Chain A
Amino acid sequence: QVQVGESGGGVVQPGKSLRLSCAASGFTFSRSGMHWVRQAPGKGLEWVAVISSDGRRKFYADSVKGRFSISRDDARNTLYLQMNSLRAEDTAVYHCVKDRGAEAYGMDVWGQGTTVTVSS
């Protein structure tokens, strides 16, 4: 069964850091582009970042560029999102998402998400 599952969310103070992880199973992780997409409470979807299957290409939303970093460990079938200098507006459910191709061709498997709350 193809699935992804996030962990690492929690409550963090503004300006602090947090690292999210995403464990993948049931598919060839090293062949898939992987995304992070977030959803603030009661709001719509916001794409955050993508990493290509070979890890060489990474793209970010303007709202997180320079603060967040996406990475992958194919040996562990795990995706990461390092979030630094967190702000209140980063509060959201963060979904790990598998792409149907090697980069950004369509987000076909979604995790249930992990909640990040940035508050003092």
Chain B
Amino acid sequence: EIVLTQSPATLSLSPGERATLSCRASQNIHSYLAWYQQRPGQAPRLLIYDALNRATGIPARFSGSGSGTDFTLTISSLEPEDFAIYYCQQRGDWPLTFGPGTKVDI
């Protein structure tokens, strides 16, 4: 199975700062990567699909990039509601897999 590694495990930042989250796949997954946000006590929410496409209703401060094995989620200027856990997920091969998550905290 394809293993996703996310770094860092925790990112401590302040509102207004830029967040850069990394996801690395154990093999080439082309652009078949999605990003999800999970706030405490809530279900996850799709942010980005196919590496760089924002899902419906997702603010422009969220952007995705990368292809092959290395991917990045960037939050250009953190809002208070952005402090959450972020997961990447690949659909390049079965079974689908998630990364372990990056916690963005204050």
Contacts and interface: CB of A to CB of B under 8 A. Distances in A.
B34 A113 contact: no
Nearest to A108: B46
Contacts of B96: 35, 47, 50, 59, 61, 104
Contacts of B45: 110
Contact of A46 (B46, B56, B98): B98
Counting contact residues on chain A (CB < 8 A from B), the size range is: 20 to 34
B49 A105 contact: yes
B95 A44 contact: no
Main secondary structure of the interface of A (DSSP, over half): strand
B50 interface: yes
A111 B89 CA distance: 18
Interface string A36-47: 010000001111
A106 B34 contact: yes
Contacts of B36: 45, 107
Q: Pick the 9 closest A-B CB pairs, nearest first.
A: A106-B49, A110-B43, A47-B96, A45-B98, A108-B46, A104-B91, A61-B95, A44-B101, A59-B94
Interface of B: 1, 34, 36, 38, 43-46, 49-50, 55-56, 85, 87, 89, 91, 94-101
Interface of A: 35, 37, 44-47, 50, 59-62, 95, 100, 104-108, 110-113
